[in-house]
A and B are shown apart, each in its own frame.
Chain A
Amino acid sequence: MNIFRLAGDMTHLMSVIVLLLKIHTIKSCAGISLKTQELYALVFATRYLDIFTDFISLYNTIMKLIFLASSFSIVWYMRQHKIVRRSYDKDQDTFRHLFLILPCLLLALFINEKFTFKEVMWTFSLFLEAVAILPQLVLLQRTRNIDNLTGQYVFLLGAYRALYILNWIYRYFTEPHYVHWITWISGLVQTLLYADFFYYYFNSWKNNVKLQLPA
């Protein structure tokens, strides 16, 4: 494993920890999109179908379990926890799941490396992960005022994606036959979706002011 990949996984892990910390200690999920969190739970559930059939490494299995458990518990907190769920911006978080799920599923049925259930689900999870942040970005745009933890959560997710691109470039030059167009293109699309957010995040950081997105 190269340094970019490890750093990518660690920022991904940190994003989840920041979010759980916000929910668990402040008992608030204000500014967090339940739609995005549900899509992530679906992403992990469909991508890690191999968790009990193909052993890759202990690291791999443990990380998969962490991402599955954390994504489903975040959804549980936001839907079921009697205090946390009250802070959910339900009226602002109106993005429709199906608008993202259906096109990704159709695309995965036609574009995949092998037409098997596991492989189509894996490809679907890549496409869906690429766009799963959209409801969150829409919610940020609507609420405009973003608290520090929410800003850090989205920033860490974006950093994870950027580091994965560096990981692919590194692997392409160091490993033979490492060509994965589906992964790369969907990963690139996903990272580009954060570009706008990053621009405002760095500006607010540089000018040392509270992060605020334009209307």
Chain B
Amino acid sequence: SASTGVKDEL
């Protein structure tokens, strides 16, 4: 899901 990993990026 999009709520993990890439969501810590700006």
Q: Say which size band chain A's interface belongs to.
A: 20 to 34
Q: Is the CB of B5 within 8 A of A175?
A: yes
The answer to the question of A85 belonging to the interface, with a C-beta cut-off of 8 Å to chain B, is no
The answer to the question of A72 belonging to the interface, with a C-beta cut-off of 8 Å to chain B, is no
Which residue from B1, B3, B7, B9 sits with its C-beta under 8 Å from A5?
B9
B residues in contact with A112, CB < 8 Å: 2
User: Once bound together, how far apart are the Cα atoms of A175 and B5, in whole Å?
Assistant: 9
Interface residues of A in 58-102 (CB under 8 A from B): 60, 63-64, 67
The answer to the question of A161 belonging to the interface, with a C-beta cut-off of 8 Å to chain B, is no
A residues in contact with B1, CB < 8 Å: 113-114
User: Once bound together, how far apart are the Cα atoms of A112 and B3, in whole Å?
Assistant: 12
Binary flags per residue of A160-179, CB closer than 8 Å to B gives 1, else 0: 00001001000100010110
Q: Is the CB of A177 within 8 A of B2?
A: no
A to B contact number (C-beta, < 8 Å): 36
What residue in chain B is nearest A5 (Cβ atoms)?
Answer: B9
What residue in chain B is nearest A112 (Cβ atoms)?
Answer: B2
A residues in contact with B8, CB < 8 Å: 56-57, 60
B residues in contact with A50, CB < 8 Å: 7
Q: Is the CB of A63 within 8 A of B10?
A: yes
User: Once bound together, how far apart are the Cα atoms of A191 and B5, in whole Å?
Assistant: 21
Q: Is the CB of A171 within 8 A of B5?
A: yes
A residues in contact with B6, CB < 8 Å: 178, 180, 183
Listed by A's residue number, 24 A-B pairs whose Cβ atoms lie within 8 Å are: A5-B9, A9-B10, A12-B10, A50-B7, A56-B7, A56-B8, A60-B8, A112-B2, A113-B1, A113-B2, A114-B1, A114-B2, A114-B3, A119-B2, A122-B2, A175-B5, A177-B5, A178-B6, A180-B2, A180-B5, A180-B6, A182-B2, A183-B6, A183-B9
Enumerate chain A interface residues (CB-CB to B < 8 A). Answer: 5, 9, 12, 50, 54, 56-57, 60, 63-64, 67, 112-114, 119, 122, 164, 167, 171, 175, 177-178, 180, 182-183
